[in-house]
A and B are shown apart, each in its own frame.
Chain A
Amino acid sequence: MEKRFVYADHSATTGVRPEVLEAMLPYLKEEYGNPSSIYNMARRAKEALEHAREQVQKAIGAKAATEIYFTGSGTEADNWALKGVFEAYAKKGDHIITTAVEHHAILHTCEYLEKVRGAKITYLPVDSEGFVRLDALEQAITPETILVSVIMANNEIGTINPIEEISRICHEKGVLLHVDAVQAVGNIPIDVQAMGIDLLSISGHKFNAPKGVGALYMRKGVNLPSFIHGGDQERKKRAATENIPGIVGMGKAIELAVAEMEEKNKKLIPMRDRLIREIEEKIPFAKLNGPRENRLPGHVNFSFEFIEGESLLLLLDMAGICASSGSACTSGSLDPSHVLMAIGLPHEIAHGSLRLTFGRENTEEDVDYIMEKLPGIVSRLREMSPLYEDYVNGNVTPIIMKK
């Protein structure tokens, strides 16, 4: 095949799609009114804001549009949910339960609450495929527990957690449930009412909205304090002049993503499964990370023994393929990804991980192209690897069994 450009890093971010940009443009140009002002032009901006709120409400099955609060990012929504519950429910208790495989927006907020604010945090273990251990959740809840925060779909390994079951456990014991749905929105169906979710974080740029806009769903009755202090925007809960172009873009993007989800997944699931199958057939010492069922539609993550992830990414980039890795070298620390550690991978296998995440513009030809390039790149790095040399010379036993 001729050299292609294959963007296979949709879990990292996505591009703004033309329909979304088109919806945004008037609010970047002539319709620049501040929704807090009183003239007609400002009213139009306010209407656009409320229309976007309804689009988000419908996309996640919220009861009322007033349960949606726009933020500057998914990270902000996560911060708000955790710090807000900790503050608002201080009289009830100081214990928060989360999992070992959360995004840093959750984990580092929990660390802050623990170290600076005196919160007690429990990090639930996960099984070898990354699913939250429900028995551990049940045991972890105490009378002081005020919140359980669980990732809906894991960014690194694609595992989709059983949110309804988690919600049932939480609500039986009167504990609120926050769900980080940043990777899930637009990829799998979400219904906050049916699923029993009290708080839910959304990030626009994961589903073709621009960067710099997110939202927090706050079920009516869950009354968190203001997170950003200032003006009366977002019903006095999140001050700052609203990012109208971004919010309009997110409204349009979430509407399109949900409307096209079924069609998109009909394409992405077979692509994902073919890539998994072909990697397993053609590349020895490769291990799929995360589950085969209940996995994000376009999400593939493999570990390749004897090689290191950053080298792999650099060579893939040279071939025009954008991907990511849980290797330490891509994070700037000496430890590989906490998610890969939590599912029990040994360090040497975690360092050799590769994540390929497909989105709406990817095609079967992209899978062909990846399979044309990847096996050779893995072989090339193995030829360079002293660990592979030790294996070839019979000095070590591989961790991943050869197929």
Chain B
Amino acid sequence: MAMMYSEKVMDHFMNPRNMGEMEDASGVGTVGNAKCGDIMRIFLKVDDDGVIQDVKFKTFGCGAAVATSSMATEMVIGKTVQQALKVTNKAVMEALDGLPPVKIHCSLLAEQAIHAALWDYAEKHGVKIEGLEPPVNDIEEIVGDEE
């Protein structure tokens, strides 16, 4: 199994960035389900200017699920919520030097986890994020579109 992952995926899996919880998160999003074997939870801390100051994640899933969560947190930190929305699963995959085809759904899950946390933040703070859709919890629905 290890050989099918890029060095970057293995690095983020072995040394996950921003792994943990956040007590005073501005927004929290959880996507996926244990049935299909992947769950991601993202915590965001957003300042008054709408800039993401801190991100934490927790993931139940395979090596790719952990690595995409880790990479996604790195890619949204320091961005505005509007910019964070533009971090796509493709960008996360490219940053990891690619994923095996069967693991593409992990990157979609990471994208959706960020969106879910942004949605939670927007709802709690009465903020409108242009272009943000309600989170999709069942990732199989969007995996279908991708293939």
Q: Binary interface profile of A, 302-342, with partner B (CB < 8 Å = 1, else 0)?
A: 00001110110110011000000001111010101000000
Asked whether B1 lies within 8 Å of A387 as measured between CB atoms, the reply is no
Asked whether A347 lies within 8 Å of B35 as measured between CB atoms, the reply is yes
Asked whether A386 lies within 8 Å of B37 as measured between CB atoms, the reply is no
Indicate whether B142 reaches chain A with its CB closer than 8 angstroms. Answer: no
Indicate whether A348 reaches chain B with its CB closer than 8 angstroms. Answer: yes
Q: In the complex, which of the residues B30, B37, B64 contacts A334, with contact meaning CB atoms closer than 8 Å?
A: B37
Given A314-B1, A330-B1, A332-B102; A384-B13 close (CB under 8 Å)? no
Q: How far is the CA of A310 from the CA of B62 in the complex (A)?
A: 5
Given A328-B37, A387-B39; A306-B2 close (CB under 8 Å)? no
Asked whether B62 lies within 8 Å of A306 as measured between CB atoms, the reply is no
Indicate whether B61 reaches chain A with its CB closer than 8 angstroms. Answer: yes
Q: How far is the CA of A347 from the CA of B38 in the complex (A)?
A: 11
Q: In the complex, which of the residues B13, B37, B58 contacts A351, with contact meaning CB atoms closer than 8 Å?
A: B37
A345 to chain B, nearest CB (A): 12
Q: How far is the CA of A348 from the CA of B34 in the complex (A)?
A: 5
Q: How far is the CA of A27 from the CA of B59 in the complex (A)?
A: 53
Q: In the complex, how many residues of chain A place their beta carbon closer than 8 angstroms to a beta carbon of chain B?
A: 26
Given A310-B63, A311-B66; A389-B21 close (CB under 8 Å)? yes
Contacts of A311 in B (CB 8 A): 13, 61-63, 65-66
Contacts of A386 in B (CB 8 A): 30, 39-41, 58-60
**Interface bin, chain B:** 20 to 34
Contacts of B40 in A (CB 8 A): 386
B32 to chain A, nearest CB (A): 9
Asked whether A385 lies within 8 Å of B13 as measured between CB atoms, the reply is no
Asked whether A314 lies within 8 Å of B41 as measured between CB atoms, the reply is no
Chain B residues 30-73 with CB under 8 Å of chain A are 30, 34-41, 58-66
Chain A residues 361-387 with CB under 8 Å of chain B are 383-387
Query: CB-nearest residue of chain B relative to A347?
Result: B35
Q: In the complex, which of the residues B38, B58, B64, B140 contacts A384, with contact meaning CB atoms closer than 8 Å?
A: B58
Asked whether B34 lies within 8 Å of A310 as measured between CB atoms, the reply is no
Contacts of B62 in A (CB 8 A): 308, 310-311, 327, 329
Asked whether A314 lies within 8 Å of B63 as measured between CB atoms, the reply is yes
Q: How far is the CA of A383 from the CA of B66 in the complex (A)?
A: 12
Q: How far is the CA of A313 from the CA of B2 in the complex (A)?
A: 9
Q: In the complex, which of the residues A317, A332, A387 contacts B60, with contact meaning CB atoms closer than 8 Å?
A: A387
Asked whether A347 lies within 8 Å of B58 as measured between CB atoms, the reply is no
Q: In the complex, which of the residues B13, B37, B59 contacts A314, with contact meaning CB atoms closer than 8 Å?
A: B13
Query: CB-nearest residue of chain B relative to A314?
Result: B63
Contacts of B21 in A (CB 8 A): 389
Asked whether B13 lies within 8 Å of A387 as measured between CB atoms, the reply is no
- Given A336-B37, A385-B58, A388-B60, 16 more A-B residue pairs with CB atoms under 8 Å apart are A307-B60, A308-B60, A308-B62, A310-B61, A310-B62, A311-B65, A314-B2, A314-B13, A318-B14, A332-B102, A347-B36, A347-B37, A351-B34, A384-B66, A386-B59, A389-B21
Q: 10 tightest CB-CB pairs across the interface, nearest first?
A: A348-B34, A329-B62, A310-B62, A386-B41, A386-B58, A347-B35, A351-B37, A385-B60, A334-B36, A328-B37
Show 22 residue pairs from A and B whose CB-CB distance is below 8 angstroms, ordered by the A residue. A306-B60, A308-B38, A308-B65, A310-B62, A311-B62, A311-B65, A311-B66, A317-B2, A318-B14, A327-B37, A327-B62, A328-B36, A328-B37, A329-B37, A329-B64, A334-B140, A383-B19, A384-B58, A386-B60, A387-B39, A389-B21, A389-B41
Binding site for A on B (CB under 8 A): 1-2, 10, 13-14, 16, 19, 21, 30, 34-41, 58-66, 102, 140
